[in-house]
A and B are shown apart, each in its own frame.
Chain A
Amino acid sequence: MSKGNLTRRGVLKTGAVAGAGLALPTYLSAQDSGFTNAPSGATVTLGFNVPQSGPYADEGADELRAYELAVDHLNGTGADNGMLETFKYADGSGTVLKGSGVLGKKVEFVTGDTQTKSDAARASAKSMIEKDGAIMITGGSSSGVAVAVQALCQEAGVIFMAGLTHANDTTGKDKRANGFRHFFNSYMSGAALAPILAAQYGSDRKAYHLTADYNWGYTTEEAIRSSTEAMGWETVGTVLTPLTQTDFSSYITPVLQSDADVLVLNHYGGNMVNSLTNAVQFGLRDRMVNGKKFEIVVPLYSELMARGAGSNIAGILGSQNWDWKLENQLGAKYSGTNAFVQSFGTKYGFPPSQAAHTCYVQTLLYADAVERAGSFAPCAVVDALEGFSFDGMGNGPTLYRGEDHQCFKDVIVVRGKENPENEFDLVEIVEVTPVEQVTYAPDHPQFAGGALGSCNNGA
């Protein structure tokens, strides 16, 4: 019968093609270069995977600005050289980067939108790796995304330089050999904040935590709790709030009824803006409990959030990875800050956020590691970055620890300004916690349960 013939042929055809597709890869998949997306032409492609839509779109836009600036500086096409002038190794010599590309190749980039969703971020990173031939992926403004993309990069055999990600898990239980984080983490926030909280508010406080109901919230709450309890504080309540919550009134009322005299808001982004605004509207800041003034603490501060919360942030303590006023106020130890702020300001007309800073630094660190290693191969880059000490990148002397690929550097404790002069100068630096105080053992309980594995060069 004719229809029988028709379909048999179709089946044969499909079978033959599919069979060929299944059989071919075994002997063709290995490339000559020995690693994924080895750059063969005169250019090398980096993938900038940032949130361009969704709750962290502001951070994403600032990260992208920083990446474009870093590419300008790496290619020597910018108005100046930014941190390439100040970037120094532990022995005091300057970086090997000369502003003439990386290993003689011009740096190009592709961008993608993570939408702050792990699935979308992985799809976007995959298309950069598979379609655009990106040799390194960087960016992101959420730990969930960072962890998801880091695992993908490990599988695919490319380097991942994390952007803004603060949860312990990124370099804790979900750490990967191909992933690196420059940004600080929840533990460091807790360790940096606790002594200052004790000094400012006394050591017999009762704290009430409102925590965003996802991984970053959990690790931050744990870190702040354990650090403050070690100082003598008592935790009287912890409540999880949904990430999508926009009105926190119903969560603030129980705080008024408890005998807590400190409210810790383990929130970020829009959550933090809303919860803090609600808390201030409820008059928490004017309350007196147990004869002490009621205080609010926000463990992870960001300029962009401060802008959103407006005058409500006045007098509220928090921690930051970096601030653009650092070098002006605390001197040459934090060199690089002014160089970066200046070239960012020249290009865009306003000072960079800490998200922009960490992304810029990560790009330069990657390029420098490639140059020192003399190869784009991920394993060579991992070797060059592990245990790498550097200075002049705005945070003072910094170490990329080999055991967990986390950067160790000073942490800044900031307070919202009472009378900000302009919309970019909303926080004042209270103190800088030296790196020794925020350093922990790689097997610290808050970071336990993961393994780096070994570096992966991919196909």
Chain B
Amino acid sequence: MHTVTVQVVRPIGDDIQKKAAERSAVLLLGCPQVPVQTSIALYLLSMLRKKGIKGIIAGNPAARRLVEVSDPDHHYVGEVIDIDRCVADLAEKKRDFSLCFAFIHNDAGVSYAATIGSLSGGSLVALIYGEHPEDVAETLTVPCEKIVVKATHNPMPLKNKIDEVLPWVVSNL
């Protein structure tokens, strides 16, 4: 009987790629009643993937299904989890994320963002949109990066702001 030992020599770049693969961002979706949420979530997943960051969707059943149905072949969508399971895993220290993007257009969104922000060791980026984003933004008092844009049906103002901020946010990881 012959035993063959194979030694795998990884190129130096593998370590960097491995480190990049460990970086993860959770997209904490709010109530999907504001149309821009799903398109921006898919866009953000795509941008994060290009930067080597694993994107995870957390939302209620309706928000999750909107994202999953919009990307049936999972070109952009990877792991999808229930929003309360996400909170429970963080609170019980079962997992954490490098980044959290909280989608906020109402008080419940503010509450979820504040909760995630206080439980996670990662950076919190609050995407605040809807009809009256400034009013909502005032109530979010936890430390975070706030992107505040009036947007309901047209995703472009929020997309453009994300394009401005994302390179800076990712460079700080």
A and B together in one complex: no
